[in-house]
Amino acid sequence: MTAFTEYFSKLYGPRWEGLYRSLRGEAPKMERDCFEGFARYTLDPASVRAALALKVQAYDRVLDLCAAPGGKTLVLLEGLQGCGSLVANELSSDRRRRLKEVIASHVPENLQSLVTVTGFDGNQFGLKKKASFDRVLLDAPCSSERHLMEEDETVPEWKESRTRQLAMRQYSLLCSAALSLKKGGTLVYSTCSISPLENDGVIERLLKKKGDQVELDPDTSDLSDLEATRYGFQIFPDRAKGSGPIYIARLRVKD
């Protein structure tokens, strides 16, 4: 038994066998026609749910902190209904290039002016753009176990330290995202990891250290069909017809 299998089988118990099989299967895709007359973008339905959870409205000022490859960015832009602004940030130059290509090929030219693509370090964004946005999506870099398993189903080199290190990075990004929000602003934190350390663990740390500033969104009726965790919601492929995994937690900055 590899460290990967041992770790997650202990976490998920009898469920692990079925979850493992579903993670090894092909994920469903949906074509989303964000803007009439332009190319449809193909992505996992679970990813759409994460972007929709931000509840973007017209005239919002929105930040997509780790935006590439751009599928969720398109969903956020759609929510603006032609009014407002969206900053799509991506540190990696290669991924940022891909992000710009997605926007150019899927968004009408007159709406592209609503989007600003930036390449800042997300950890510094909150300090440089403090209290600047109404809504922030942090789709954080994560272990992405499903993608790892596509490369090698046994994941022989996986170590628990990997998920712990990523959780520290995610917490730093989450603090930055929270700082960038105006009072009363909404923050959605999402990952495609199945590791609780990178999901509820990150949210728990934020609430313990910054609970005087941020809180869980009390209204989660739009997410009630999903599998609840202690602080958020999860879409697991073994119970969502292959879709996911996606973790979603929604918070708000206190007034």
Q: Model confidence at 38, in pLDDT bands (50, 70, 90)?
A: confident
- The pLDDT of residue 154 is 61
39 pLDDT exceeds 90? no
Pairing of strands 61-64, 85-89: parallel
Q: What CA–CA distance (Å, rounded) separates 82 from 254? A: 28
Contact 167, 238 (CB under 8 A): no
CATH number of 3-253: 3.40.50.150
**Mean pLDDT score, 182-210:** 98
The average confidence (pLDDT) of the chain is 95
Helix pair 45-52, 71-79: axis angle to 10 deg: 40
- The pLDDT of residue 235 is 98
109 pLDDT exceeds 90? yes
Predicted confidence (pLDDT) per residue in 44-92, tens digit: 999 999 999 999 999 999 999 999 999 999 999 999 999 999 999 999 9
Q: What CA–CA distance (Å, rounded) separates 9 from 249? A: 24
Question: How many beta carbons lie within 10 A of that of residue 20, not counting itself?
Answer: 19
Q: Model confidence at 239, in pLDDT bands (50, 70, 90)?
A: very high
Q: What CA–CA distance (Å, rounded) separates 55 from 52? A: 6
- The pLDDT of residue 153 is 63
Q: Across the strands, what pairs with 42? A: 31
| Active-site pick, 34, 66, 142, 192 | 192
- The pLDDT of residue 37 is 81
- The pLDDT of residue 36 is 84
Is 192 in the active site? yes
Q: What CA–CA distance (Å, rounded) separates 51 from 34? A: 13
- Which has the minimum average pLDDT: 32-41, 140-149, 226-235? 32-41
Contact 69, 99 (CB under 8 A): yes
- The pLDDT of residue 152 is 72
